[in-house]
Amino acid sequence: MYNIVEKTDPDGRQRDGLTVPSAEPSQDTQGDLRRRIEFLERPALAKAAPGVALSLGIAEIDGALPGGGLAPASVHEVCGASSLTPALGFSAALLGRAAGRTGTVLWCRRSGELYAPGLTAFGLRPDNLIVVQAKSDKDILWTMEEGLRSGALSAVLGEPGTISPIALRRLQLAAETGGTMGLLLGLEKHQTVSASAMTRWRVETAESRHPLGPWPGVSSWQVDLMRCRNGARGSWCVEWRDGYANDNPQTGGQDSDSKAGHFALVEPLRHGPHQTPRSHAGGADFELTRLAV
């Protein structure tokens, strides 16, 4: 078996023409090949400084993604199955992680329902989040493209109602030029199935859990990785453990260091451990339930 090698290897040695590969294909050879294919597919990206993939902070999910996280300088799709709100929360969390401590992120949408006190739970503050309230889908796409191309932002999230494959391809090229991550948010039925996006996520709401009683807990979602280039599909149930430690005393200690919150993997919960408080005709038994916890 022969292997065509480029003039310059990743390790810098000059080699020409055909070389005989070593007997057993090592992990290194595989990685080398993978890089080379990547180079052929997307020369602009390979040339750019290899940015750090955006890790979700969950080993299981990061392991399913090539590079250990969401690839920078590319566009990812997040779609909501029936309602947009869970997808909104999941992508807000991704955006918050992308912003990190020093970055700035851009969010373009049509309506202005985002609520600043709620965004802080996802690490999005007025000093790192810029919101564009666009008049039309065209403006959203233009804004996203400008934001991705400028290279001044950590990530750009847009909610264009529908998007054509050509527009998606444009965004992908802009993301490669600027080295910025793009997130496309929409309902599943509106989004086109296109090969341009790096990954495609489907987010549905999941029943939340509270360690102490029958109360709503932190945001939790059923997240399906529908498509991932060079990666595997997967399905997980994740929680966003935000900084309101009093809500969650068990994890309060580890929450304190990162106020913005973090993802956590949880077991899918079909029927909650706590019986739902169905009927409380009288207040007394409710009081008892509450005391018994």
Partner 1 sequence: MQAGQISNSPALLSEPLVTVRAERGGWTLAALNDAAAVAGLRPGLPLADARALCLGLKSVEADPAGDRRVLEALTDSCRRYTPWAANDPGVDGIWLDISGCGHLFGGEDILLTDLTTYLQRLGYAYRLGVADTPGAAWAVARFGGEAVSVIPSGAQASILAPLPAAALRLSRTIVEGLHRMGLRRIEDIIGIPRAPLAARFGSILLERLDQALGTRPETITPRRPVPEFRARLAFAEPISHRNGIDAVLDRLLKTLCKQLADAHLGARLVTLEGYRTDGTIAEVSAGTGRPVHDPVHLARLFREKLETFDPGFGIDVAVLGAVRTDTLPPVQAALEKNESQTGCDDGERLDYLLDRLGNRLGPQRVIRLASQARHVPEKAAKAVSALLGSPPDGTDEGGPRARRPLRLLPSPEPIQVMAPVPDRPPVLFRWRRRPHRVARADGPERIAPEWWLEDADALFSGETEARDYYRIEDEAGARFWVYREGLYRPDRAPRWYLHGFFA
Selected range binding partner 1 among 18-26, 157-165, 209-217, 249-257, rule: CB under 8 A: 209-217
Selected range binding partner 1 among 19-27, 64-72, 121-129, 228-236, rule: CB under 8 A: 121-129
Structure tokens at 226: 């529908």
Q: Is 258 among the residues that bind partner 1 (CB under 8 A)?
A: no
Structure tokens at 167: 């527009």
Distance of CA 234 to the CA centre of its chain: 14
Q: Is 7 among the residues that bind partner 1 (CB under 8 A)?
A: no
CA-CA distances (angstroms) from residue 279 to 151, 275, 284?
A: 55, 11, 12
Interacting residues of 126 by C-beta distance below 8 A, sequence separation 6+: 116
Q: Are 221 and 205 in contact (CB under 8 A)?
A: yes
Burial of 116 (0-12, 13-18, 19+ CB in 10 A): exposed
| Binding residue for partner 1, selected from 5, 38, 46, 104, defined by CB under 8 A | 104
Radius of gyration, CA atoms only, the chain: 22
> How many whole angstroms separate alpha carbon 171 and alpha carbon 147?
10
Q: Is 194 among the residues that bind partner 1 (CB under 8 A)?
A: no
CB of 58 to partner 1, least distance (A): 17
Interacting residues of 113 by C-beta distance below 8 A, sequence separation 6+: none
Selected range binding partner 1 among 14-22, 34-42, 123-131, 192-200, rule: CB under 8 A: 123-131
CB of 278 to partner 1, least distance (A): 7
Q: Mark residues 132-171: x for contact with partner 1 by CB under 8 A, - for none.
A: xxxx---x--xx--xx--xxxx------------------
CB of 277 to partner 1, least distance (A): 7
Residue ranges in contact with partner 1 by CB under 8 A: 83, 85-86, 88-90, 92-93, 104, 112-122, 125-135, 139, 142-143, 146-147, 150-153, 204-208, 210, 214-216, 219-221, 240, 242, 244, 246-247, 272, 274, 276-283, 286
